[in-house]
Amino acid sequence: MSSRSRNGRPYWVALRAMVVFTIVLGVGYAAVITGIGQLAMPAQANGQLAQDADGQVVGSDLIGQSFTDADGAALPEWFQSRPSAAGDGYDAAASSGSNYGPENEDLIDAIGDRRAAVAKLESVPESEVPADAVTASASGLDPHISPDYARLQVPRVAEARDLPEAEVRDLVETHIQGRILGILGDPTVNVLELNLALAALAD
């Protein structure tokens, strides 16, 4: 065997190993895991897409969205999400928080403005506005609000839709999600799921 062949052999071995591992790990493994996900948990594997009564995809249970008009004003007939600092609001391509510290003047002013706006929208004193109604999540994509914030919005939504307040309140109570494993986190309400149920109730 020539010295050139001996010197080139390690490169061919490395090349063949790269091709084999690319096929096995890069293609085969990904295909197997994707297949398992589709069989065992299809909804989660596909992003937990939410559909309306007509079967149209209107969002994901995992990503929040705004229920506002073109000018950013809250639509009174829908439950409102918490604020978002992701892009122009709930931009999945720009997930982030404001990164402001608790003593940042811009953040303090923004919270004050939000608290006043929510209090006016819901016709309540500013002292009754929950914290999640005026603060954004770290990701800017949190689809949940607190049960307190959801309950605060019941009278306004019921009036806007001409529905009995008790009926809308019961709808909120049935959509409260408990703590993970009964101990982690706080109870929450998924705003998109709640609004889809609200739309079905109105129909």
Could you tell me if 88 and 180 lie in one domain?
yes
Which pLDDT belongs to residue 149?
A: 96
Token pair of 107 as six digits: 């953040």
How many structural domains does the chain have? 2
Which stretches in the chain have pLDDT values below 70?
1-8, 41-48, 202-203
Which pLDDT belongs to residue 138?
A: 82
Which pLDDT belongs to residue 17?
A: 84
Q: Which domain holds residue 71?
A: 48-202
Which pLDDT belongs to residue 44?
A: 66
Task: Give the separation between CA 90 and CA 163, rounded to whole angstroms.
Answer: 29
Could you tell me if 16 and 81 lie in one domain?
no
Could you tell me if 28 and 119 lie in one domain?
no
Q: Phi and psi for 174 in degrees, rounded to 5?
A: -75, -15
Which pLDDT belongs to residue 59?
A: 75
Could you tell me if 105 and 65 lie in one domain?
yes
Transcribe 79-120 into DSSP letters: PPPPP--STTTT-GGG-------TT-HHHHHHHHHHHHHHHH
Angle, vertex CA 171, rays to CA 49 and CA 116, nearest 5 = 90
First to last CA, the chain: 82
Q: What is the DSSP letter of 186?
A: -
6-35: b (≥16 Cβ within 10 Å) or e: eeeeeeeeeeeeeeeeeeeeeeeeeeeeee
Closest by CA position to 67, among listed 176, 190, 202: 190
Could you tell me if 84 and 32 lie in one domain?
no
Which pLDDT belongs to residue 3?
A: 55
Could you tell me if 57 and 114 lie in one domain?
yes
Could you tell me if 134 and 65 lie in one domain?
yes
Which pLDDT belongs to residue 87?
A: 81
- 33-88 pLDDT, tens digit each: 877 877 776 666 666 677 777 778 777 888 889 999 888 889 999 999 999 888 88
Could you tell me if 81 and 157 lie in one domain?
yes
Which pLDDT belongs to residue 89?
A: 82
Which residues partner with 189 through β-bridges? 145, 176
Angstrom distances, CA of residue 29 to CA of 14, 34, 54, 72, 151: 20, 8, 36, 45, 46
